[in-house]
Amino acid sequence: MSNIYIQEPPTTGKVLMKTSVGDLDLELWTKEAPKACRNFIQLCMEGYYNNTIFHRLVKGFIVQGGDPTGTGEGGESIYGHPFKDEFHTRLRFCRRGLLAMANAGKDDNSSQFFFTFSATPELQNKHTIFGKVAGETIYNMLKLEDALVDSNERPQYPQKVVKTEVLINPFTDIIPRVSSTEESSKERKKEVRQVWGEEFQATLLRGGGGGR
């Protein structure tokens, strides 16, 4: 086994990310990067990443996703504000298949993340490494590099995250927030029940609704 893998600490969290190029088994360093991992796991539990695209691709370097707007300008953390970077001496940008937080500067982490296609030492102590692509699923991740890109590093036909499933969650106190779509769905169901109830009452008052 390579010394690269020996020096990395054991992972303690796991997420299955289903993408348009196949499944990715993501193992997380929840002890070494607790803020980033808690954020990622909760967003996955809430379906935040479902149907989002990989909006940025730099061949031989990284592929980036996690922005629900698909522009590279959006996304938010579970904390309601950007959270701080987390660096660990045993987590280094020395290989492909690492999962890290994208940011626009120091301590500016929200929801966007990226996977590495190679060693990227220039990112060390600038981006939080919080996970890795495990096992044979790394070959699915490498398929993300095949897309055609324009001059702005945007894939012409972007691949996407279909859905995520949290398999191992050490943060037992996480309570997923109700998403706006779920809230809207609840309101619509409430309105339907209310309208149906009013119509039923009106039918009773008219003496209808019974058999002849």
- Which residues are tagged catalytic? 56, 61, 64, 103, 114, 123, 127
The rounded radius of gyration (Å) of the Cα atoms in the chain is: 22
CB neighbours (10 Å) of residue 136? Answer: 10
List strand residue ranges (DSSP E) for the chain, in order: 13-19, 22-28, 52-53, 56-58, 62-65, 98-103, 109-116, 129-133, 160-168
3-class state of residue 52 by DSSP = strand
3-class state of residue 16 by DSSP = strand
SS (H, E, C) 129-146: EEEEECHHHHHHHHHHHH
